[in-house]
């Protein structure tokens, strides 16, 4: 049997021998809940009564809850046998009065994250290294698809608070080394706004920052700024990743053009970046000219559009933006 690694932050996945099981199958929801709980409690034998309460609680269930649990256990073991035939009974073992996880787990990302955050260090640099490694592991909340489960809520809250406190501590340590974050001030007017600059100059971060703050504001949260003024928008559209789609028969360039068209058809704030690998400078310039023609006010000259297009690395478009 190979090394088993478990992801619980930002999703639930089991990985072993190059294979991966993901909790995306909603038909097996109770099986995934059972699996997550047994892994978290793998040092102990969990009683049948505890598992029945965990899976059904106050829900009406079979007149024979023990049989319902056996059926769910069978489905959970069958799920695990995607790794290897007959491995299910080895991974979940029957013990007197209950069940217990039966095979070694190489690592659980949530446990590694907590250990790095809590680990004492000999010097500030080592502490910073531990914190940055921990923050990189935190891909999202604990078991997000099971976030409403009673036993998940306190763990998720604890880990999220630990993430926030660790992030603040890491910022303080970076500041002590003179590596403070550079604040960004952005003012956007109706039409198109171009962000230019060298590679790794912070253009994508600036656009994501604006979009994130718009979403925070529209959800009623405080924005990450000393001062902000913005209207409400119908939607926020961001194109940052390689969108190549084999299923639709589109290259990254073709997929990006389709998404551009959808964004321009919407009366909304959209942020876009052009991936260099997707098209050359001539294709990019032609696209930029058309985008600016559609997005910019009519009093912008063609020369200005061409100059902007040549240096363009990002675009905001909105018919509502103030």
Distances in Å between the Cα of 51 and the Cα atoms of 48, 61, 87, 104, 183 are 5, 13, 21, 21, 50
3-state secondary structure of 316: strand
Cβ neighbours of 3 (radius 10 Å): 11
Q: Structure tokens of 308?
A: 């902007």
Say how far apart CA 75 and CA 167 lie, in whole Å: 40
Distances in Å between the Cα of 257 and the Cα atoms of 244, 264, 278, 286 are 11, 11, 11, 12
Work out the pLDDT band at 61, boundaries 50, 70, 90.
low
Please indicate whether residue 163 or residue 239 has the higher confidence score (pLDDT): 163
Work out the pLDDT band at 36, boundaries 50, 70, 90.
very high
Read off the pLDDT of residues 185-234 as tens digits, 9 standing for 90 and up.
Answer: 888 776 667 777 777 777 778 878 888 888 898 888 988 888 888 887 77
Query: Which pLDDT value is given to residue 92?
Result: 95
Please indicate whether residue 7 or residue 211 has the higher confidence score (pLDDT): 7
Task: Give, for 93, the enclosing helix (H) or strand (E).
Answer: strand 92-95
Say how far apart CA 237 and CA 243 lie, in whole Å: 14
Work out the pLDDT band at 313, boundaries 50, 70, 90.
very low
Query: Which pLDDT value is given to residue 228?
Result: 87
Read off the pLDDT of residues 238-249 as tens digits, 9 standing for 90 and up.
Answer: 766 555 555 556
Instruction: Please state whether 10 falls in left (phi above 0), alpha (psi between -120 and 50) or beta.
Output: left
Rounded to 5°, angle at Cα 7 from 5 and 12: 125
3-state secondary structure of 95: strand
């Amino acid at each position: 049997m190979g090394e088993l690694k478990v992801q619980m932050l930002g999703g639930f996945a089991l990985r072993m021998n190059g294979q991966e099981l993901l909790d995306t199958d909603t038909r097996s929801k109770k099986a995934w809940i059972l699996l997550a709980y047994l892994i978290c409690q793998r040092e102990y034998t969990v009683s049948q009564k505890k598992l029945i309460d965990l899976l059904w609680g106050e829900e009406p269930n079979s007149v024979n809850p023990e049989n319902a649990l056996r059926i769910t256990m069978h489905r959970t073991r069958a799920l695990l046998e995607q790794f290897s035939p007959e491995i299910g009974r080895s991974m979940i073992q029957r013990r007197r009065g209950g069940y217990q996880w039966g095979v070694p787990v190489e690592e659980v990302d949530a446990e590694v994250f907590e250990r790095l955050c809590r680990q004492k260090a000999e010097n500030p640099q080592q502490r910073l290294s531990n914190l940055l490694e921990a923050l990189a592991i935190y891909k999202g909340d604990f078991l997000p698809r099971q976030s409403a489960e009673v036993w998940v809520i306190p763990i998720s809250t604890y880990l999220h608070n630990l993430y926030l406190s660790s992030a603040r501590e890491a910022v303080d340590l970076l500041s002590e080394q003179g590596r403070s974050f550079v604040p960004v001030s952005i003012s956007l007017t109706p039409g198109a706004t171009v962000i230019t600059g060298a590679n790794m100059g912070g253009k994508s971060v600036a656009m994501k920052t604006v979009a994130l703050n718009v979403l925070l504001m529209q959800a009623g949260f405080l924005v990450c700024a000393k001062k902000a003024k913005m209207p409400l928008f119908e939607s926020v559209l961001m194109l940052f990743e390689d969108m190549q789609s084999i299923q639709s028969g589109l290259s990254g360039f073709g997929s990006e053009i389709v998404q551009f068209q959808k964004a321009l058809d919407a009366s909304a704030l959209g942020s876009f970046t052009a991936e260099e690998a997707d098209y050359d400078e001539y294709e990019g310039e032609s696209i930029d000219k058309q985008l600016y023609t559609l997005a910019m006010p009519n009093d912008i000259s063609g020369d200005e559009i061409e100059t902007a297009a040549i240096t363009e690395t990002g675009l905001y478009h909105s018919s509502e933006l103030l």
